[in-house]
Structure 1
Amino acid sequence: MRSLVEARSFQRTVIAVILLNAATIGAETSSVLVGHFGGFLHAVDRIALAVFAVELGLRVYAYRGAFLRDPWNHFDTVIVAVALIPAAGSVSVLRALRILRVLRLLSAVPSMRRVVSALLEAIPGMVSIIGLLVLVMYVSGVLATELFGRIAPGYFAELPVSLFTLFQMMTGDSWSDITRQVMAERPWAWVFFIGYILASTFVVLNLFIAVVVNAMDEQTTSSEEQHTDDQLATMLAELARLHAKIDAMRAAQAVPAGSHGDHPGDRHAPAPASPEPDA
């Protein structure tokens, strides 16, 4: 059973069912498609859910206790369990959560698993960068509220409004329009806004990219080392098998008992003539 669930053809079939189910769920958002193919779409959705449940049951049976030690199995179990909840009455909103089945691609595709694992490993470094970004935005928000609150109350009237405006500017959305409106009253305001954009967008956000890329590189290196270790283990197992075969061949050619340690190649040689007794 473990060989079945780990087979590449089996995994590709599951991925194909996930993609097909994602397409049918998306098609159900169209009233035209539902009007013409509603019964077919619902049938495909039920069949896909049954396939997911059976596949999860097979993995539980194949891995036994080891199934619970893999966090990705917990992820798949939660998604399938949510999909099995009856979507009627007060829990009808859960029907919209069916699209979460598409997230099973994260566990079904190894490359996606590596990406997610790298992002999770990058969280500690990202938390520090988020703290730095919050500090920069808070200081800038207080300054912007004090300096430009009366000039542009729609953008900097109060601290929460200023923080939202600065976040908008950090994303590059209409930052030049906001800056020009303030510069009409404060020509030197460009110094503040350009300094903030350089600090938040070109420095802090690029630190996010650096941390994620570093985590991805470490994850790739770890995967390559694991692959190398697996290849080495396979080679050692093959070498041990060859040694065992050679030992068996030597044992088959060994001298039988009572040959007094003669060389195996000499066991067929004629025995020397014994000397005649003295008169």
Structure 2
Amino acid sequence: MCKLREKCLRITTDRRFELGITAIILLNSFLIGVETYTENSTIRAIQSSILGIFTIEIILRYIASGGNKAFFDDGWNIFDLSLVLISYIPETLFANAATMTAIRVIRVFRVLRLLRAAKEIKVIITVLIKSMTAMFYNVILLGIFIYLYAIIGVGLFKMPNPEKMTQQERVRFEKYMEEVPNSPENSPDPFGTLGEAMFTLFRELTGEGWSDLRYNHISAYENGYIKATPAVITAYHISWLVLASFLLLNLVTGAILNNYQIVMDHSDDKEKK
């Protein structure tokens, strides 16, 4: 058994083996993309062969690891094994079309095996995993401010309900909406509800359409539909953009960079030893 393990260890740590598996993963990823355009027996046969190669690879890595504990202590092994096992689930096992679609979608995640193709990529993934705790609290902080600004936004910028207007007021409002439509035009009132306001703030966080919203609110003020003055409108949108885009998101970046340095230092220490 020791000889078999040593042999498997030599195979799995061989540079040519790693390059070969990487090439198979690339081919598999390419064919997954091709299958979105067309399906035929040749592609299915190649994909079945690739699945067989992946299975052999998993078996070799399992033997080389020396047992269950060593094998399952490596998160990448669990990741690879899960993707391979899912690929063996037959679609005919499920009569439900939604379940079959879900299985197909999960199989597409085999593309993610490319993440282990390079040492540098694995380092980045390790950094992201280590940063999850910090990012989780940053997301909570961001959520608190989104909620706060959304409540303020609904109070300041909620447009009147056309159903409660008189006929003359409704005609005037419809004419106003033709001249100053929502941004985008098919969207509801951006601050009409708390949920919509929170989504609008998230949209502004990406830098999309925040200046259009400002000008629309100024037009709404000039037409008497909201009471917030242009100064308040400008202060609201700029303060949110500065707080969210320039401060809160940079906290996430800082956490990732800090963990990246920690991982790199740990990696350097291991290489020196």
TM-score bracket, shorter-length normalisation: 0.7 to 0.9
Inter-partner Cα distance in structure 2 for 1:99 and 1:226? 35
Partner of 1:258: none
Q: Number of residue pairs matched? A: 224
- 1:51-90 matches, within 5 Å, as 51-65=53-67, 66-88=70-92, 89-90=94-95
1:28 paired to 2:35: yes
Partner of 2:112: 103
Q: Give the Å deviation of 1:64.
A: 2.7
Contact between 1:76 and 1:107, CA under 8 Å: does it hold in 2? no
Partner of 2:208: 173
Given candidates 107, 130, 134, the residue that maps to 2:139 is 130
- Of 60-69 and 115-124, the range deviating more from structure 2: 60-69
Contact between 1:179 and 1:193, CA under 8 Å: does it hold in 2? yes
Contact between 2:159 and 2:189, CA under 8 Å: does it hold in 1? no
CA deviations over 1:38-69 (Å, ceiling 9, x no partner): 23211211111110001101111221321122
- Closer/same/farther in 2, CA of residues 139 and 96 from structure 1, 3 Å limit: closer
1:114 paired to 2:123: yes
Normalised to the residue count of structure 2, the TM-score between the two structures is: 0.78
1:209 paired to 2:209: no
Q: Give the Å deviation of 1:165.
A: 0.7
Alignment gaps of 5+ in structure 1: 230-279
Normalised to the residue count of structure 1, the TM-score between the two structures is: 0.76
CA deviations over 1:96-136 (Å, ceiling 9, x no partner): 32221111122343222111110111112112211211111
RMSD: 1.6
Inter-partner Cα distance in structure 2 for 1:8 and 1:128? 40
CA deviations over 1:237-262 (Å, ceiling 9, x no partner): xxxxxxxxxxxxxxxxxxxxxxxxxx
1:163 alignment partner AA: M
* Deviation beyond 6 Å, 4+ runs, structure 1: none
Partner of 2:51: 49
Given candidates 10, 14, 28, the residue that maps to 2:17 is 10
The percent of aligned pairs where both chains have the same amino acid is 29
Secondary structure at 1:164's aligned position in 2?
helix
Secondary structure at 2:90's aligned position in 1?
coil
Partner of 2:225: none
Q: Larger RCO: Structure 1 or Structure 2 (Cα < 8 Å, ≥ 6 residues apart)?
A: 2
Contact between 1:83 and 1:98, CA under 8 Å: does it hold in 2? yes
Inter-partner Cα distance in structure 2 for 1:136 and 1:228? 45
Contact between 1:122 and 1:212, CA under 8 Å: does it hold in 2? yes
Partner of 1:155: 190
Inter-partner Cα distance in structure 1 for 2:19 and 2:108? 19
